[in-house]
Amino acid sequence: MLHLHRAASRTMMMHPLAANARRSLSPTTTKTTTTTTTPCGHPLIDVAKLREGSDETTSDLRRALFDYGYFYAANVAELPAEYIRSLYDYSAACHGLSPRIKNKYRQRDGGTGAYSGPDIGQPELQYEAGGVDARVRAWDYSRTRFSLAAAAAARDDDGGTGDGDDDGRYPASHEIHPPFAAVLDECYGRQDALARVLLGGFERALDIPSGTLVGMFDAEGGDFGTIRLLHYPGDDVDDDDYDAIGTTGIGAHTDFECFTLMHQTAPGLQILPRAPPGDDDGGDGGHYSREWTDMPVRDSEFVVIIGDMLERLTNGALLATPHRVMPTAHPRDSIIRFNAFAPSTIIAPMRPFVTDERPSSYSAVTMSTHMEVTMRNLEEGMGSWDESRRISTSARRDYGGERRVLELGVTEDLRAPKKNGGGVVAQRCGGCIPEEEWRQRRPPPAQRRTGIVLPSTRPRLNRAGTVGPHVLERTPMVDVLKGGGYVIGGNDGAGWGRRMAGVGSNEAM
């Protein structure tokens, strides 16, 4: 049964950054009300209500994202309790496979598969620089192929290993039944449906145009996400005696994608929530609480946390949620889904979060480059969470290049017939052009109605009520491919954003 509590305790605790971000978007949204929580005070989002577009739930979600940095998601029709239980049964069968099969599908050291774990000498990558070994054992599934640098190199050398499904990546049907890829892909589809509901909610909570995040998620190439079936064997010690173990469940880190959906069978997960405003002696200006918080097990609900991409898109108004798993005497299983964006999606601070007071403080990078660079850095022991500076080093990584701002909600009709010469196959907004360059390139008014630059001469309101100067350029496809010109989102849901979203530079910019 769903317990809904209206908790007043956090009502006056909006983080100053959140307040600024929201104030700059819409002065009317600063009014505080109460937040729906679980009985023990964790923010709770009723997904059924979010799906209906409930204003109250959207406000709950806004507070959860800005003030807490996480929430429990309840009433998730796509992932009912009995389905999750069956997935845990399947996970147990996968983790019960022999070391020989696990080794055949190893992710590293010449492997190109899906398994990692200390039981085959392949511990999880190190998330905290200088941290201790992780106990976690993982079967990972992703639709879009990406792999660790070492595995990619091995694949280039020998064309892959194993004879399982999907290029030898996953256990085949004679090794486990039903076959791994089929079960996990079905789950992936269910989680995708939930992700679209949550991303739509995030768009409303962030006051950005409808379709912005969902468009990035559904863009060509597909979401660059992963499902993990995780198993943590219990340690033969008292729960209080963690220090003696010399290992951890999984080291502190932030996840690299947009958001993460988590479910666990037993306690062990901890997160670092946002700090209440005024509590700024945590060493990081009060962005994060000083206390790690235990995430209680809630059978039919999911923990949702913020990933690196949402921190970058919101210019740090939202912060990626640090989390870790403690070593425990009891065994523990979890099902994790990283929800990413399409590989070539360009991630940079979105216009509404960049102001004179808060200039863009994150460089632009594509989803795939961020994943690849972060994984490589982990392989080299650089970690993702810096405990002494209390920042996510992966979320804050500087990819160089000029600061860019993503313009949202372009209101020109991008589907208008093209009159500007045969080679014109794509159009773009000013979103990915560095602001300085954009100003210099802007032709004098007299030329604006001819030439290749078709400016919108007056600021226009988009659906979210934000304004932005938009320059639409008609650009030969070859230039788009070279320059990474890119249109994201849309104001009419007509799908042009999706068509364009696969076009872009695959490099850090």
Ligand X SMILES: O=C(O)CCC(=O)C(=O)O
Per CB under 6 A, residues contacting ligand X are: 228, 230, 250, 255, 262, 264, 269, 323, 325, 334, 336
Q: Which residue number places its CB atom closest to Fe ion?
A: 255
Q: Are strands 70-74 and 44-46 parallel, antiparallel or unpaired?
A: parallel
Taking CB under 5 A as the rule, does residue 124 contact Fe ion? Answer: no
Instruction: Give the nearest distance from C-beta 116 to ligand X in angstroms.
Output: 11
**213 contacts: CB under 8 Å, gap ≥ 6:** 199, 200, 202, 203, 258, 341, 489
Instruction: Give the nearest distance from C-beta 318 to ligand X in angstroms.
Output: 18
Taking CB under 5 A as the rule, does residue 192 contact Fe ion? Answer: no
Q: Are strands 323-325 and 259-264 parallel, antiparallel or unpaired?
A: unpaired
CA distances from 96 to 92, 102, 137, 160, 233 (A): 6, 9, 11, 24, 12
Query: Do the beta carbons of residue 364 and residue 350 sit within 8 Å?
Result: no
**Stretch of 145-153, 213-221, 247-255, 458-466 lying at the interface with Fe ion (CB under 5 A):** 247-255
Instruction: Give the nearest distance from C-beta 265 to Fe ion in angstroms.
Output: 16
* 148 versus 269: smaller Cβ distance to ligand X: 269
Listed residue (463, 482, 484) closest to 25, CA to CA:
463
What whole-number distance in Å separates Cα of residue 337 and Cα of residue 56?
Answer: 26
Instruction: Give the nearest distance from C-beta 87 to ligand X in angstroms.
Output: 14
269 binds, among Fe ion, ligand X, none (CB under 5 to 8 A by kind): ligand X
Instruction: Give the nearest distance from C-beta 264 to ligand X in angstroms.
Output: 5
* 102 versus 228: smaller Cβ distance to Fe ion: 228
For helices 55-63 and 180-205, give the axis angle rounded to 10 degrees.
100
For helices 180-205 and 81-95, give the axis angle rounded to 10 degrees.
130
**Stretch of 233-241, 253-261, 373-381, 501-509 lying at the interface with Fe ion (CB under 5 A):** 253-261
How many residues in total does the chain contain? 509
* 325 versus 347: smaller Cβ distance to ligand X: 325
* 262 versus 414: smaller Cβ distance to ligand X: 262
Taking CB under 5 A as the rule, does residue 311 contact Fe ion? Answer: no
Q: Which residues sit opposite 43 in a β-bridge?
A: 37
Taking CB under 5 A as the rule, does residue 255 contact Fe ion? Answer: yes
Size of the site for Fe ion (CB under 5 A): 1
264 binds, among Fe ion, ligand X, none (CB under 5 to 8 A by kind): ligand X
Interactions with Fe ion, residue window 55-74 (CB under 5 A)? none
Taking CB under 5 A as the rule, does residue 235 contact Fe ion? Answer: no
Q: What DSSP string describes 232-259?
A: EPPPSS-TT-GGGT--BSEEEE--SSSE
Q: Is the peptide bond before 178 cis (omega within 30 degrees of 0)?
A: yes
Instruction: Give the nearest distance from C-beta 303 to Fe ion in angstroms.
Output: 11
* 51 versus 323: smaller Cβ distance to ligand X: 323
Taking CB under 5 A as the rule, does residue 257 contact Fe ion? Answer: no
CA dihedral over 460, 215, 303, 52, signed as positive or negative = positive
Three-state DSSP state, 99: helix
State the CB neighbour count (10 A cutoff) for residue 96: 9
Q: Which residue number places its CB atom closest to ligand X?
A: 334
Q: Are strands 332-339 and 226-232 parallel, antiparallel or unpaired?
A: antiparallel
Instruction: Give the nearest distance from C-beta 306 to Fe ion in angstroms.
Output: 11
* 272 versus 503: smaller Cβ distance to Fe ion: 272
Instruction: Give the nearest distance from C-beta 53 to ligand X in angstroms.
Output: 30
State the CB neighbour count (10 A cutoff) for residue 487: 25
Instruction: Give the nearest distance from C-beta 324 to ligand X in angstroms.
Output: 7
228 binds, among Fe ion, ligand X, none (CB under 5 to 8 A by kind): ligand X
* 72 versus 438: smaller Cβ distance to ligand X: 72
**Stretch of 11-19, 250-258, 352-360, 372-380 lying at the interface with Fe ion (CB under 5 A):** 250-258
* Residue 197: its H or E element: helix 180-205
432 binds, among ligand X, Fe ion, none (CB under 5 to 8 A by kind): none
Instruction: Give the nearest distance from C-beta 260 to ligand X in angstroms.
Output: 7
Query: Do the beta carbons of residue 199 and residue 217 sit within 8 Å?
Result: yes
301 binds, among Fe ion, ligand X, none (CB under 5 to 8 A by kind): none
Binding site for Fe ion (CB under 5 A): 255
